[in-house]
Amino acid sequence: MGLMGFLRNKAGVILTAAMAIAILAFLLGDVVRGGAPFWARHQNRVGEVNGTEIEYPAFSQQVEQAEEMFKQQMGGAVTPQMRTYAVQQVWNQFLSREILRKEIEKIGLTVGSKELNDLVQGPNPSAQIVQAFTDPQTGQFNRGQLSTFISQINTAGNQAMVDQWETLLEGVKEERLSSKYGELLSNSVYVTSLEANEEYQERNKLANFKYILLDYASVKDAEAKVTDADFQEYYNEHKNMFRTQEETRAIQYVTVDAKPLAKDSLAVKETINKLKQDLIVAKDDSLFASINSDNKYPFTYMKKGQLSPSLDSVVFNVAAGTTVGPFLSNGAYEIAKVVSTVVGPDSVKASHILLDATAEGGVDKAFAKADSIKGLIQKGDNFAALAVQFSNDPGSKANGGELGTFTRGRMLPEFEKAVFEGKTGDIKVVKTQYGVHIIKIEKQIGTAKYAKVAIIDKVINSGKETLNNAHSKATAFLSAATAQNFAQEAKKLGLEARTASRVTAMDNVLDGTEAPRDLIKWAFDAKKGDISDKVFETETSYILASLVDVQPKGVLSLDAVKKDIEPAVKNKVKAKVLKERFAKALAGASSIDQVAQKVGKSAIHVENVVFANPVIPGVALENAVVGTVFGLQPNKPSKAIEGNTGVYVVQVNGFTNPSAISDINAQKKQMLAAKAQRAWGSIFRALQDKAEIIDNRVKFF
């Protein structure tokens, strides 16, 4: 009451006003100094590593560039899975770059321009370059595609292409710097002769022994009462196993199936049959297919093996003009019209000289100059030298105009028609959107029948009635469910409540079940005990969720892992029961056979077990048991040993020692390679654990 009274008097009013003015001045000062009030700062921060922030616009741009690269590699639209992978890839690059940056700067590592050029266009290009320019149809790196892309950037590339290329180059440089740093670390690792000899012994010394196994299943659960103290003891002994690198959530969820029913499939089949009749009489086959197909297929020549199995088995055996299907393939009905067929090469190796029509004073003048250059080539002038002199394509002119070997569908239509319909040795002059090309067909490889096919497919989706019924069921559950009765209400509706216990912020699945990103984002913004106030949707289901637990970064609590460790704790308690049985049997026994007789078991003999592969034949991997074997004296039974499958007693019959190591240097070299690889991973994890990392991606993606 004294404080309230004080605030009511005049002095209180003056003090309160003064405080308000001081706070306002502080906030305004913050605006002036930082350009935004303190509560507005970092709102666009996707993450931070060791004080270096990355803002949403920059991060999002890199994600879009990664998505575009995936689209080029895989074709089709960007799927949620591709987007998630793109976000993770960009984050990993940021994480790796910032964690290693200061370490690399300390020792002055760089990537020179010549080195970078070799990583892009040299004989052994960077893995990122190979990945970005691998033909998805052949699985082979396409140098021609790389050269064409570089040429397009330097002649008619838009800003998006330039940004994408610069991001790729930056990734190549970072990859090389990381590789150099890793090589330095690897070179600091060594193996002594003593280590090499021990490793050789562990892999070649053989143990022959007998064992008795009392397995955990032989003890009934009623005989092994598990207490809270047992859980605590196990938890304390294995705490490091429960350490997490990031905050996780435990989400209880219910999935309402909304997959298509038989009547939905029938409706789609009726639609595709009608489209087939229209496709038969369509005047513009490719346009009609593009407008009506759920998935857009390239209207180009394809060979056997490039279509779905159903179409593949028919298309190449019918005449041009034939429309085939419908066929059911991967959840869709598809039809196809064979527009034309041709027998021709599988791939072509070619070179070109590109003339810029604008720079030459127009298309006619460019053609005239191209014809002159063609004449010089036909008279015997060197094509590569002319390419260096005249070509406007910097990506290929440095290589004498060489574009490498490429398959159908990789070049512009006019260019492709010229090289695939011509023959080896031909010199062709063609115009494309990039200018006028003088093309030399160096080599045509392979031959096969190709068909140009207009394909239409209709995906079998759930109909309105199917979706409405599933949504009504989900809504009914949402109305009735609480944190307390979540599982019971699900059961009333014939649904099953499941719990995903270790969900991370960037997951897109719940225990293997597809989950929309907005569900995960909700879970990381909710409080323990909250139920989602909406129904989350996937392509084939509705999901409702409740946040069961929040598990902070670091060592998880006993409550968080109790359910997971329960089987191991039970075995730990059962081990005490079995050890007591063995202790009684071991008393006064001088051999393992006597122990076996007392416990009503037979001692099993095994041979040729090595320390480096601690497997007991026919049983399991048993590190503790085999490790004990190699420390025993022969012909004496061991004490009880707690293993993975049960409790053991062992007795060594003898060891077979290997001959002396023949080439210790070869052994050291082999060990060094493995040790260096492990060292790099261990050092990076140590740097990552030491780094101050803030990950806010879940707010944006």
Domain boundaries, the chain: 2-34, 44-204+658-701, 206-242+560-656, 246-259+463-552, 262-344+455-459, 347-445
pTM over 0.85: no
Cα first-last separation, the chain: 50
- Quickly list DSSP for 496-565: -EEEEEEEETT--EETTEE--HHHHHHHTTS-TT-B-SS-EE-SSEEEEEEEEEEE-SEEPPHHHHHHHH
Closest C-alpha to 167, from 207, 132, 140: 132
Residue 32 has pLDDT above 50, yes or no: no
User: For residue 326, is the peptide bond before it cis, meaning its omega torsion is within 30 degrees of 0?
Assistant: yes
Provide the pLDDT confidence category of residue 636 given band limits of 50, 70 and 90: very high
Mean pLDDT on 355-365 = 90
Query: Regarding the domain delimited by 347-445, which CATH topology (the fold level of the hierarchy) does it fall under?
Result: Chitinase A; domain 3 (3.10.50)
What is the number of H-type helices and E-type strands within the chain? Answer: 24, 25
- Does the 206-242+560-656 domain belong in CATH 3.10.50? yes
Closest C-alpha to 359, from 397, 383, 401, 390: 390
pLDDT digits (tens, 9 = 90+) for 48-100: 999 999 999 999 999 998 888 887 776 667 787 788 889 999 998 899 888 88
Distance CA 474, CA 463 (A): 17
Task: Give the pLDDT confidence score for residue 75 in this predicted structure.
Answer: 64
User: Token pair 């892009």 is at which residue?
Assistant: 120
Residue 338 has pLDDT above 70, yes or no: yes
Residue 42 has pLDDT above 70, yes or no: no
Note whether 275 and 334 are within 8 A (CB).
no
Distance CA 406, CA 143 (A): 8
Residue 37 has pLDDT above 80, yes or no: no
Residue 40 has pLDDT above 50, yes or no: no
The two three-digit tokens of residue 671, written as one number: 């060990």
Closest C-alpha to 603, from 208, 232, 264: 208
Residue 263 has pLDDT above 80, yes or no: yes
Mean pLDDT on 530-552 = 92
Q: How many CB atoms lie within 10 A of CB 255?
A: 23
Task: Give the pLDDT confidence score for residue 208 in this predicted structure.
Answer: 97
Closest C-alpha to 211, from 571, 613, 643, 576: 643
As a whole number of angstroms, the longest Cα–Cα distance in the chain is 109
Mean pLDDT on 32-40 = 39
Provide the pLDDT confidence category of residue 30 given band limits of 50, 70 and 90: very low
- Give me the long-range contacts of 290-296 (CB less than 8 A, separation at least 24): 292/456, 293/455, 293/456, 293/457, 293/458, 294/332, 294/457, 294/458, 294/459, 295/76, 295/332, 295/457, 295/459, 296/76
Residue 259 has pLDDT above 90, yes or no: yes
Mean pLDDT on 364-392 = 92
User: Token pair 């019959």 is at which residue?
Assistant: 653
Provide the pLDDT confidence category of residue 137 given band limits of 50, 70 and 90: low
| Architecture per CATH, 44-204+658-701 | Orthogonal Bundle (1.10)
User: Token pair 């949620």 is at which residue?
Assistant: 80
Strand ranges of the sheet holding 347-355, from the earlier edge strand across to the other edge: 402-407, 347-355, 435-445, 427-432
Fold: same for 44-204+658-701 and 246-259+463-552: no
pLDDT digits (tens, 9 = 90+) for 491-529: 999 999 999 988 999 998 898 888 999 999 999 999 999
pLDDT digits (tens, 9 = 90+) for 580-607: 999 999 999 999 999 999 999 999 999 9
Task: Give the pLDDT confidence score for residue 690 in this predicted structure.
Answer: 87
Residue 626 has pLDDT above 80, yes or no: yes
Mean pLDDT on 610-616 = 94
Provide the pLDDT confidence category of residue 150 given band limits of 50, 70 and 90: confident
Provide the pLDDT confidence category of residue 623 given band limits of 50, 70 and 90: very high
Beta bridge partners of 694: 48
Mean pLDDT on 171-175 = 87
Query: Regarding the domain delimited by 246-259+463-552, which CATH topology (the fold level of the hierarchy) does it fall under?
Result: Chitinase A; domain 3 (3.10.50)
Provide the pLDDT confidence category of residue 311 given band limits of 50, 70 and 90: very high
Mean pLDDT on 522-546 = 93
Residue 452 has pLDDT above 80, yes or no: yes
